[in-house]
Structure formats: structure tokens, C-alpha cells
Amino acid sequence: MAQSKVSELAKVSAMGMIGTAIEDFDFIAAGLASSIAWPYVFFPKGNFAADLLASLGAFLVSFVARPFGAFLFGHYGDRLGRKSSLVFTLLTMGVGVLIIAIVPGYAVLGLAAPILLFIARILQGLGYGGEWGSVTTWVVEHASTSKWRALWASIVPEGYAIGGLAAAVLTTLLLSIYGFKSFVDFYWRIPFYIGIVVILIGAFLRYTLMESPIFSKIFSERKVLSLPSLQVFKEKWTDVLKLAGINMIAQTPFYVAITVMITYISVALSLPRSFASFTTVIGEIVGGFLVIICGLLADIVGRKNLLIAIYAIAIIFSIPYILLVNTAVPSLVLLSQVILMGLAFGAVAVLSSYLSEYFDPKYRASGSGLAYQIGVLLGVLPQSLLIGYIVGTSKVNSIYIGIILAITAILSLVSLLLARETRGIKVG
């Protein structure tokens, strides 16, 4: 590749990573806050299980919105350009972050408080849902002629590790310095104040970069579809659903680890909340290394082969995971959380190229975004609510947490076996 092309590709990949890091910082901050602070801030003090499930519902409602975000911003990504769509995903996310940062709690607003929280989370979900398809398409198309396309694309989910790590570190520090009560009273809002500023900076920086050369060619030749999000469903709905199934277990472990299991570790096992949050810090650090390693391996052994290996490990580890957590030995709890999160990071690293490569350029942002976000919805919402019920009521043996993870992994593996390899295919 020419030096100028490599330089531009590096800029695009880095900006894709930075934008993803910014959005994930606020998204993970919300996940941690939903399990630590929101049950006490936005809901009436009563039954803890009900308040926890309501708080998790506020976090999880964004997952319902994410496929709609993928549909909307995927449409614009395939109609107006990948880069243009990515500026608007950040700004939409920013409006939701602003509402969360400033809205008073239940004690001040009553029922209006959780309603505003849900609205903010829907806006976050729309913006976050529109991010994946356009940003991975943007990078993959810039790297279309590189033999290290998966490695370049894996820089995008590296932003998940960086943004999530920053949110987890900040949350852990705030809990450790100010204590649980002060954190609930005010300090959980700090990450969202920071998020507003960095989102505006990120949107401006994205605006300054080049559009995808493949999209520019389609646009100049007037081959842009009028309704790409609908067209991809009409022509490739089996691929969209198949890839959504593949993505399920790439999502479940991570979001379970950073939400309901934080509550489980601190409430059911009586370990400090700061330690529970710290497990996500180490998980994000390890995940950051695994993202690049798996991106490199995907170019060497193939996307499908590597995913098969990761999913097989996920199936095998599901039951041992909860058994290790139940020992309440901090080192074993930490190890189990790190492994669970690492499996998710490794899978997402591969999917960053795999999903985009599966679709034609004319509806690539729409197809890859919809497949990813439908998979997120199917892999996170029902599982998190079930596990949240287990954690909140303690009426069901916690071994079912492992069973839920195993079933999800098996379903994803079956979907993967029905899919094709994409390493080496032309994407332009």
C-alpha cells in the first residue's frame, strides 16, 4: 500500500476508535451506574429486586433502540456517506448523555425522573446503534486492498476497551474516594459531564476526515440506493439474521459482567462494590490486548475459524464461570470476570471486519449495523433480565446464570457454522 494510503487509513482507524471510545465511555458509565446508583436515585425506595430490575430496564431499553439506530443511521451511511452518519451518531448520543447528567432523581421529580431517564437511554441507544455499521464499514472500505483488513478493523473495538476502561477506572476511583453514599448522591454523574465535552470534540474531529473511497465512487456514479436499510432486508434478510445470531454470544458475556454481575458480586457475595467495579477495569485492560491479537489472528487463520474457537471456549467456560464467582474468593472472582469479558472482546474484534465484509457496498452500513444490533438485542436483553431476576430475588440457584450463558453460546455457534468465510474477498 502507498504511504499516503496507509497514513489516511491510520487516521480513519484511529478516529473510528476514538469515536467508539467516546460513545462506549458513556455507555459503560451508564451500565455501571444502573447497577450501583440508579436503583437508589431514580426509583422509589421499596423492594430492592423491583428497583434493580427497573434500573436495569432503564439501561437495557437502549438495546431495544439500537436496531432502530442501526436502521436509521445505516440508511444515512449508505445514502449520504459513512463519515456524515458518524457525526450524527455522536451528536444523538450526546443529547442522551446531557439529559442523564442533569436530570434530578425521584425525590425531586417523582415519576418524571425515571421517564426522562428512559428517554435519555433511548437516545443513547439510537446513537450507539448507528455507530457500528457505519464506522466498521468506513474502516473496512479504506482498508479494502490490505491483507491486514481485520487487524485495521479491530482498531475500532479497541475503542470499546479504552472507553470502557476509562469509565470503569473513573467509577472505581469515585467509589473508593467518596464512598457509596456520596457516589449515589452525586458523583455517579461525573462521567456524563465529561462525556458531553468529549462527544462534541469527537464529532468535530470526525467531520475533518475523508469519506470512504468506495462510497464516494458509488455516489459519483449515482448508484446510491434510495432505501438501503429496507433493501438489505429484502435481499439479504437471511444473512442479517444469521449474523445477528453469530453476534449474540459476542455481547452477552460483556454486558452481564458489567451490570448484573456487579450487583451479584457486591450484594450476594458481600464483596466491596469498589472491588466489583475493579473487576471491569482489569477486564477492559485484558480485552484491549485481546482485540488486537484476535484482529491479527483473523487475518491469519480466517474470521470463521477463530470465532469457532472462541465460541467453543465460551460454551465450555459458562458453568465454571459462575462456580468460580460463587467461591467469593476475590482472585477467583476477578479471574472469572476477566475471562468472560475477554471472550466478548475477542469475538467483537473479529466481527468488526466479518460483518461488513458480508455485504455489498450499496447497503453495507445498513446490513452490518442491523446484524450487529439485532444480535446485541437478542444476546443481551432477555439474558440480562433473567439474570437480573436471579440476582435480585435469590430464589433461583445461581448455576442458571452459567446455563443461560451456555445456551446463548450454543445458539451463536450454530449460526456461525451456517455462515461463510470472508477473509480475502473483494469489498469494493
Distance CA 273, CA 11 (A): 38
Mind spelling out the 3-state secondary structure of 405-426? Answer: HHHHHHHHHHHHHCCCCCCCCC
Q: At what angle do helices 228-258 and 364-393 cross, to 10 degrees?
A: 30
**What would the grid cell of residue 278 be?**
475493579
Please provide the DSSP assignment of 317-331 as one string: HHHHHHHHHHT--HH
Mean pLDDT by groups of 10 residues along the chain of 428 residues: 65 84 83 83 76 77 90 91 86 92 91 91 90 89 91 91 88 90 92 89 80 87 89 94 96 86 85 88 91 96 97 97 94 96 95 95 94 93 82 71 94 97 89
- Cβ neighbours of residue 301 closer than 8 Å, sequence gap 6 or more: none
* Closest C-alpha among 127, 123, 117 to residue 37: 117
Is the Cβ–Cβ distance between 21 and 169 less than 8 Å? no
Structure confidence at residue 396 (pLDDT): 54
Is the Cβ–Cβ distance between 140 and 28 less than 8 Å? no
Structure confidence at residue 395 (pLDDT): 53
Distance CA 39, CA 26 (A): 18
Model pLDDT for residues 75-110, shown as the tens digit of each residue: 988 998 888 888 888 899 899 999 999 999 888 999
Distance CA 255, CA 246 (A): 16
Model pLDDT for residues 171-190, shown as the tens digit of each residue: 889 988 998 899 989 999 99
Q: How many CB atoms lie within 10 A of CB 413?
A: 20
Structure confidence at residue 19 (pLDDT): 80
- Angle 199-202-204 (CA atoms, 0-180°, nearest 5)? 115
* pTM, rounded to two decimals: 0.88
Using CA atoms of 390, 394, 396, 401 in order, give the dihedral in degrees to the nearest 10. Answer: 40
Structure confidence at residue 4 (pLDDT): 41
Model pLDDT for residues 341-376, shown as the tens digit of each residue: 999 999 999 999 999 999 999 999 999 999 999 999
